[in-house]
Structure formats: C-alpha cells, structure tokens
Amino acid sequence: MCPVPPSWLCAVPASRRRGRRGPWCVGLPLAAMSLLLAGLASSAAAEVLRIGGTGAGLGALQRLSDAWARQQPGATVVLLPSLGSSGGIKAVRAGALSLAVSGRAPDSVELAAGAVAVELGRTPFVIAVGPQVKTQGLSLSQLAALLSGQALNWPDGQPARPVLRPLGDSDTDALRAMGAAMPAAVAAAAQRPGLAVAMTDQDCADRIAALPGGFGPSTLALMLSESRPLRALAIDGEPASLSALAQGRYAHARTLWLVTGAHASLPVQQLLAYARSAAGRAVLRDAGVLAP
C-alpha cells in the first residue's frame, strides 16, 4: 500500500490539529475567519468530482461517492465509463479525473509522475454464470477442463460456453493465478475458435448473462454494485463471499485502489476519509468490497 500524504488525514492544517495558531490565521478577526472558512467550504462543495477507472470497481466507487455526496450540500460527482486501470491512472495524472479506481497499484513510473494510491479494499475474484446455469460450484480441475475444451458441458449436460478476456487483461492474469492447471487452460482457451472475447468488465458481464450456459471472470463488487443477474460459483467447495474471503477460506481476490494526483483537492480528501469511516466501510461492504 502506498503511503497516504499526511494532508489527507484532515482538512485542517497540522499546526491547528496540535492546538497552535498557524501563520494562515494570525491576525484574522473572528468574523473574517468565519467568512474565510465558509468560502473554503463553498469552494470545495462547488467542485465537480470526475471519477473513473477499471470497470471492476466503478459500481462500488459510484455507490461510495453517491453516499458521500448526500452528506455534502452542492457536491457533484460525475462517473465516466470504464477506462481500465491504466487509462484511469493516466487520466488522473493528466488532470482529466479527480479520482480513479484501479485494479492494480501504480507502477514505479506512475508513482514518479505523481500518482498516489490508497487501498480501497478487496473483492472476491469470481467465475460468474448466468441465470440459466444450474451448477453451484466447480473444482479448479473442472474449471480448467471447461476452459481448455477438455469438457464441453456442465454437470447437468448443458453446453458450457466460456467468455474470455484479452490475453493481456488483468482478469486473464487472475485466471492464470487461480491454480497450477490454469495457465495451460487459459492458453488452450485462447486457441479455441469461436469463443466470445469481452473487452471490458461490463461487456463481459453482459455476455455471460446473455449467453446460454455462459461463464467467465468477474468480481463480486461488479455483480453486487451493478445488481447484475449473475451468480458466483463456489470454487473447490468455498463460496465466493466476503465472509469467506475475510476468513481466508476463499483464496481468489482482486485488490482495488483509489488513485489521485500528488495534490488532491479538499473534496477528494473528504471522499477518501469517508471511505475509511464506519459509514463508508458499510457502503463498500454492501457493494462487495472488504475495506482494509
């Protein structure tokens, strides 16, 4: 986890938190001080927060920011369509986004360019199925067989139709990391003709839901926060739930990060603080994210 700048801990300067009068307030009459603080609050509320990033975390971030905005008169939040993790971080660095949600931590180049990240939380990485699929769970060996084409049907005989992500996508990397047999299964799936390949998290969820017998990678956060008609399969007998993840029984997870520029605005700092509050953590849990 990247360190959080001390200024994010509180909107009040450090000298005031220690009980001393800092230079910013020396000589200001009480009335002038009140007007200054009112102006700062008004300016903060007037800023439009533009947020975006990876589709896996957009729904959870929208729920979080909406709950925060309801407590901030005049606050406006604009959610952009999925840009991906790299696209979101790039947009923050360019000043086009106030805040991005990412499925990975910024790399050394992005950090050197001023990107700052804090962990939003973890969400189960899942194998999602549509409402037509009756199977409740798979072993990793069964999943590998369905991906590679060694098995073509669900246990009840219904055809199983994988929905893939591009080979360089983070969901594909997460599939490979699920078990020893998975890298070869993913490589074999990429060679199978006619399989659906989804470019974004939302497109993948759409295709899984629409394709009879469809299954593919997703996150619990996306499914819950967007109220998707999907179900997460148990893997090796463990349910893909937040409680199983918290207890260490479900081993497959994606970590989501919130990324800002080096100098986050006051509203962004307030939203980040809300994410760590009891109310914010409850919103995230309802959206399928286990906050740290």
Q: Which CATH number goes with the domain that contains 176?
A: 3.40.190.10
**127 and 242 both lie in a single domain:** yes
In the chain, which residues have pLDDT < 70?
Answer: 1-46
Structure tokens at 226: 């967007």
Torsion region of 3: left, alpha or beta (phi above 0 gives left; psi -120 to 50 gives alpha)? beta
- Which residues is 15 bridged to in the sheet? none
CA 51/CA 184 separation, integer angstroms: 37
| Of residues 78, 77, 76, 97, the one with CA closest to residue 86 | 97
Q: Is 73 helix (H, G, I), strand (E, B) or coil?
A: coil
CA 289/CA 60 separation, integer angstroms: 7
Residue 106, domain extent? 35-121+254-286
Inside any domain, residue 106: yes
pLDDT at 73: 83
Inside any domain, residue 7: no
**96 and 187 both lie in a single domain:** no
Tens digit of pLDDT for each residue in 82-92?
889 999 999 99
Torsion region of 51: left, alpha or beta (phi above 0 gives left; psi -120 to 50 gives alpha)? beta
CA 203/CA 229 separation, integer angstroms: 14
**205 and 141 both lie in a single domain:** yes
Inside any domain, residue 12: no
- DSSP β-ladder status, 231-232 and 161-164: unpaired
CA 83/CA 123 separation, integer angstroms: 19
Inside any domain, residue 26: no
- DSSP β-ladder status, 161-164 and 253-260: unpaired
**146 and 109 both lie in a single domain:** no
pLDDT at 168: 87
**216 and 258 both lie in a single domain:** no
Structurally, the chain folds into a number of domains equal to 2
**242 and 133 both lie in a single domain:** yes
CA 289/CA 256 separation, integer angstroms: 9
pLDDT at 46: 61
Structure tokens at 251: 């081993």
CB 64 within 8 A of CB 258: no
Helix axes 140-148, 182-191, angle to 10 degrees: 20
CA 225/CA 57 separation, integer angstroms: 9
Torsion region of 289: left, alpha or beta (phi above 0 gives left; psi -120 to 50 gives alpha)? beta
